[in-house]
């Protein structure tokens, strides 16, 4: 089975940013994304997602390496200082490279 390498960008952040992030992804040309609710704990304390204002999301994008890096850089420039946000890159293998 042939497999192709792509980069998975995962972003975990405040739910307040959802609309902004999706607009950014669209503008920077991400091929697609998956969004889910998340909860956890980090340097900004427990983010329990008990209700609206402390909700968190987890955003996953699979794309080419250079786009993933551009996205990550954009996030770092715009949101890291003031928002609770974590993002990381990972190599993944996909079966249908034309989708990503």
Q: Which residues bind another protein (CB under 8 A)?
A: 14, 16, 19-20, 48-53, 82-83
Q: Which is nearer to another protein, 42 or 50 (CB)?
A: 50
Q: How far is CA 94 from CA 2, 77, 85, in A?
A: 9, 29, 26
Backbone angles phi, psi at 12, to 5 degrees: -120, 125
Where do we find the tokens 């405040």? 14
Question: Tokens representing 73?
Answer: 């850089």
Q: Which is nearer to another protein, 2 or 45 (CB)?
A: 45
**Shortest distance, CB of residue 48 to another protein, whole angstroms?**
8
Q: Which is nearer to another protein, 21 or 67 (CB)?
A: 21
Cβ atoms 8, 61 nearer than 8 A: yes
**Shortest distance, CB of residue 95 to another protein, whole angstroms?**
36
Q: How many CA atoms lie within 13 A of 72 on its CB side?
A: 19
**Shortest distance, CB of residue 43 to another protein, whole angstroms?**
14
Q: Which is nearer to another protein, 43 or 82 (CB)?
A: 82
């Amino acid at each position: 089975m042939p497999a192709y390498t792509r980069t998975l960008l995962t972003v975990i952040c405040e739910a307040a940013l959802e609309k902004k992030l999706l607009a950014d992804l669209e503008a920077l040309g991400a091929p697609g994304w998956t969004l889910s609710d998340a909860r956890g704990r980090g340097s900004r304390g427990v983010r329990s997602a008990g209700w609206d204002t402390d909700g968190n999301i987890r955003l996953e994008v699979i794309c080419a390496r250079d786009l993933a890096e551009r996205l990550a850089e954009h996030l770092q420039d715009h949101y890291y200082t003031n928002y609770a946000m974590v993002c990381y890159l990972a190599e993944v293998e996909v079966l249908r490279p034309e989708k990503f």
